Structure 1
Amino acid sequence: MVFHPLKIMTKSLKFRVVAFALPTMLLGLNSLFSTENAMIPKETELAYRVKALEERLEQLEKTLGQKNTKEELEARARIDFSAIRALVAEDKFDNAKSELERFLRSYDDPRTTPAAQSLAKELSVIGSHVPATWGIDKWFQGGESALKSRQEPTLLVFWETWCVYCRQQLPEIQALYEELKAEGLEIVGLTTVSGSATERGVQKIINRFNLSFPVAKEDGSIGKTFVVSGIPMAAVFKEGTIIWRGHPGRLTQKKIRSWL
């Protein structure tokens, strides 16, 4: 067999070229597959981000919807509660009570619910009986007979010497007493002599405003019975039943005469 050096050199060269190019080709293929594989996670990550964004938007819409609904309910609660207060101001206590019951079943508004609960407690006094014992510690003027159950109305006025608004109301209450006493109205001023008040101070106020209706110091039990949460406060009872409760400034001769 005769060997041709040129053919041998050519084959050797081809082998070397293939041998040299193969790693490069393999690297290219690997790179191609790697690139394709790398693209999948990126697309998946993008899809995840889009999905997360959509979920976030959906949650945001729900939150905004809930916020709007909550604000609407709070606004409606305030309107309804104002209407109930108007009923109380008109002395429509039965209507106010029923509306308050409905209100407390319908709403749980942090702004108005506590006030509604407090008002419901105050109105619960209307229609109840006066206490069997009054808890009087001292009479500055007048006596126990002023608190006896009568066919005529008895007006109780809760006040303290340090209360500016109480002092403003006392002359008007005295005027009511002078005008309607002959028609059967009885008035009793009640004080616990609390805070900076003193018994001497009470007597000074009596003298200063020439109060002629009975005034007594009570032990606080009467205030609890009538749910006195602020002063001045007044209540009216007739034949042993409480028929009215509220600020004394709301009382007029016409209103009192309707009870005489």
Structure 2
Amino acid sequence: MSGMGRTGNGRGRLGSVLSGLAVAVGCVLFLGGFVWGALLYQPYTVPTDSMSPTVAPGDRVLAERIDGSEVRRGDVVVFTDRVWADAPMVKRVVGIGGDTVACCDADGRMTVDGRAVEEPYLRGEEPASPIGFTVSVPEGKLFLLGDERRTSVDSRAHLQEAGQGTVPAGAVSARLDAVAWPLGGVLERPRSFAALPGGISEPGPIRQVLATVTAGAVLILGGAAWGPLAGLAGRRRRSAGRSGAAGRSGAAADA
């Protein structure tokens, strides 16, 4: 009996240590993931439908903090420009410094430096823009359009101004990586811009951040649940042991 007691106590102590370790590691991962995400990302609520159907008005998005030098064609960015509204806005970058952006070709597509760009994020079979334009983007500037080309107030609305509606690259503060609510997942980079010089941007570490937070939560919950579950299993084993001992005693008495 004494040997069994020591074994049981040893297992109990080991389980308690493992449970505490799991909770401790889980807390580090969970809190570390949140801190990591807070340093890299800023939440933003999309105010209008100018980026529909990619993001809808009221969507809560996560935008990775970047500077203008990291912007690539196809990126959906958050920027602030006093000429436009002096408030954060969300648009898609379709041209960078040195590009000639025009619309539309014979098939209704936008072109960048004469190369037609397929835009699968637009609605239906409509042309890339209901109005035609040709813009030479100055160095250090960006040409931006909304994905809802019929109603978006974007660079096309400022074509007659200095710079033809372009915005300084330094006006960009973040790049959209994911729709957090309602759950929409990570935004895919449009491959149609990949063949142009500079290519497209790489997704930020949003998946790694979410995986870290999730792993931490699982360890915390699992470690916290270990104690009650182990205690319940121990009580069942002891109850079964007492029942078996009682049965054997009764059998011996009958004999």
TM over 0.5: no
Larger strand percent? 2
Q: Report 1 or 2 for greater relative contact order, CA contacts < 8 Å, sequence distance ≥ 6.
A: 2
